[in-house]
Amino acid sequence: MFKQWIRVKVKIRGEYTIQVINRLLLNRIEITDLKQLSDRAEFVIRYSNLGELRKAARKTGCSISLSRTGNRIDLFCRSYLPSAAACLIAVTAFLYAFQYIWSVEIKGANPEVRAEAAEILKDHGIKPGVLKSELLINLQSTGILYKHIEQLSWAEFEEKGSRLIITLREKTVSNPSEEETLMHLVASKAGTVHTLSVSAGSPAVKKDDVVSKGDILVSGYIGREDHEKPVMAKGSVQAVTWYTANVSMPLDSRINKYTGSNYHAYALKAGSLSTPYLPVKRQSFDLQTKHRQEKQIKIFGFSTPFYLITETYKEVTEDKQKMSAEEYTSLLKSIAAENILSKVEGKGKILEEKILHEDIENGTVKLTIFYQVLENIAVPKPFIEETRE
Amino acid sequence: MVKNTWISRTAARLDLPEDLISDLPRIEWIAMKTLKIENHKGLNHFSDSCIELHIASGILIIQGEILSVSTLTHDEVSIHGHIHSISLKG
């Protein structure tokens, strides 16, 4: 490697000096500082090229002598210093660029708060192009934001390379008044208490108690008499409730069945223009369904403006469906159960179901089913004059 | 004089500099003291008052005083000194 860097001064004497130089040039060897003195020529080549010089000078009768190039440090500086300096400047500039904040991103909150925060930060010198060391980071900056923006509940500053990411959160929920937070849990419907689970407040009912709508289940007052303290009652009261469902269904239901025979029709479309469907003469069914599909034509992965429209016609027949009494009953039961569960918002559990009445009237099956459901009947009710004891 | 006429015609059509696509020499003379010649074919004669270079269309003769070659590569030469004249021998 060092041979590439070391340079040698060559003194050449003889009749065919020019030929030697031309041979070196043909071998793509770089010659510098070529001078013609009275009896000799002088030039400088790299140390690694001395082998080529020996070959070039062969059979020319030239005599060659080598010497050091004058000031080696000077030569080194002359050839490598500019590029080394440029590299150093580039690296310094590159590293120095990391000391700056080049973009400020504000996330979260609503656009109004973001814009306000951006303006305040800009006024206080937090903007793209400032030195990181000059930046008022975290505590001071968040303090500025809290001071100026009342809606702000939380602000976070994060540095990611040359980016400054500010995450804001605005106050969304205002603190409810004391009166609103204090509440009882009352029954939303009538039922028999099954399980009681109270995390705050004092239970007003016990297991197997029958409660009606509006009864207090968990009281919002705790403590002994005369030392009662109002709290927000929390908990769940699972109770057995009762529902009656009426469902009906016609005896003869008609369904469409595919026969399996079908045919296709094709057309080309470009923009709003389309060709007639092919084949023009085609069979038709008494009852059929039509399905249309549009597909863009692509050639070697390139999309063309043409679309291929395929219409599929399928023959259908109408069929009467007959079911046995058991099948009807189970189908109607499942429909009724779904209805009941949708009433209790899917959180309840059906304990028991009983068919109260079954009737066939004018070709319609009618069913009345009784359900026992286990569900949470506790709903919060704030303290008002009526509930305050 | 350009021998490869079709190359010169193509270069003219495409609006390209001829020295880029043909072997013609390109000479830059800076402040009467520095001369840069590209696409030379080697040295013919060398002294401190006259330098002769082979080029595609003949021999280029540079005359002056205290002439020296600062850089010489297979296709580029840089000459320093008091240059008086440049002439072409076809």
How many angstroms separate the CA of residue A17 from the nearest CA in chain B?
A: 9
Q: Which CATH number fits domain B22-89: 2.60.40.2300, 3.40.50.880, 2.60.40.2000, 3.10.129.10?
A: 2.60.40.2000
Q: Give B3's pLDDT tier (boundaries 50, 70, 90).
A: low
Q: Please give the structure tokens belonging to residue B53.
A: 């270079």
pLDDT average, residue stretch A190-200? 87
Residue-wise pLDDT tens digits, A36-64: 887 888 999 988 899 999 999 988 889 99
pLDDT of residue B80: 92
Q: Is there a contact between A31 and B72 if contact means CB atoms under 8 Å apart?
A: yes
Q: How many CB atoms lie within 10 A of CB A151?
A: 14
ipTM: 0.82
pLDDT tens for B21-56 read 777 888 999 988 899 999 899 999 988 899 999 998
Residue A288: is its pLDDT beyond 70? yes
Q: Distance between CA atoms of A363 and A261, rounded to whole angstroms?
A: 33
pLDDT at A290 over 90: no
Rounded to 10 degrees, the C-alpha dihedral A63/B77/A55/A78 comes to 80
Task: Say which residue the tokens 């590159």 belong to.
Answer: A94
B69 reaches A (C-beta below 8 A): yes
Question: What are A389's two structure tokens?
Answer: 């004891």
Name which of A60, A61, A69, A52 is nearest A10 in CA terms.
Answer: A69
Q: Do B68 and A22 touch (CB under 8 A)?
A: no
| Mean per-residue pLDDT, A263-282 | 83
Going by C-alpha positions, the residue among A338, A351, A354, A340 that lies closest to residue A239 is A351
Cβ burial A59-74 (10 Å sphere, 16+ → b, else e):
ebebebeeeebeeeee
Residues B43-79 as b or e (16 or more Cβ within 10 Å = b): bbebeeeebbbebeeeebbbebeebbbbebbbeebbb
Position A193 pLDDT exceeds 80: yes
CB count, 10 Å around CB of A380?
14
What is the pLDDT, as a whole number, of residue A24?
93
Q: Which of A83-92, A140-149, B47-56, B80-89 has the lowest mean pLDDT?
A: A140-149
Q: Which of A26, A34, A36 sits opposite B72 (nearest CB)?
A: A34
Contact B68 A18 (CB under 8 A): no
To the nearest whole Å, the CA of B46 is away from the closest chain A CA by 7
User: Domain residues of chain B, as ranges?
Assistant: 22-89
**Amino acid in the structure at residue A67:** S
Is the pLDDT confidence value at A90 over 90?
Answer: yes
Residue of B nearest to A15 (CA): B45
Chosen for mutation from A15, A17, A24, A36 (greatest number of chain B CBs closer than 10 Å) is: A36
Contact B46 A34 (CB under 8 A): yes
Q: What are phi and psi of B30, to 5 degrees?
A: -110, 120
Do A25 and B72 lie within an 8 Å CB cutoff? yes
Average pLDDT over chain B reads: 86
- CATH code of domain A100-170: 3.10.20.310
Q: Specify the range with the lowest mean pLDDT, choosing from A56-60, A248-252, A334-338.
A: A248-252
Strand order in the sheet with A378-382: A202-203, A216-219, A183-187, A378-382
Q: In chain B, how many H helices and how many E strands?
A: 2, 6
Q: Is B76 on the interface with A (CB under 8 A)?
A: no
Is residue A282's pLDDT more than 50?
Answer: yes
Q: Is A289 helix (H, G, I), strand (E, B) or coil?
A: strand
Q: Which residues of chain B does A41 touch, with a Cβ-Cβ cutoff of 8 Å?
A: 46
Within 8 A of B70 by CB-CB distance, chain A residues are 32-34
Q: What's the confidence (pLDDT) of residue A78?
A: 65
C-alpha to C-alpha distance for A336 and A330, rounded to whole angstroms? 10
Domain ranges in chain A?
2-75, 100-170, 177-252+322-389, 256-319
* Cis ω for the linkage preceding A380 (within 30 of 0): no
Model confidence at A11, pLDDT cuts 50, 70, 90, reads very high
- Contact by Cβ (8 Å): A367, A355: yes
Residue (of B50, B48, B29, B28) closest to B38 by Cα position: B28
Query: d(Cα A165, Cα A126) in Å, to the nearest integer?
Result: 11
CATH topology of domain A2-75: Alpha-Beta Plaits (3.30.70)
The residue of chain B nearest to residue A33, with distances taken between CA atoms, is B70
| CB nearest to A41's CB, from B46, B71, B74 | B46
Q: Which of B69, B71, B77 to mutate to test the interface with A (most CBs of A within 10 A)?
A: B69
Inter-chain touch A41–B70, beta carbons under 8 Å? no
Q: B49 and chain A: CB distance < 8 Å anywhere?
A: no
Q: What is the dihedral of CA A254, A260, A266, A272, to 10 degrees?
A: 20
DSSP state of A288: E
Lowest mean pLDDT among A170-179, A248-257, A258-267: A170-179
Measure the CA–CA gap between A93 and A89, rounded to whole angstroms. Answer: 6
The CA–CA distances, whole Å, from A126 to A108, A138, A160, A192 equal 18, 11, 15, 65
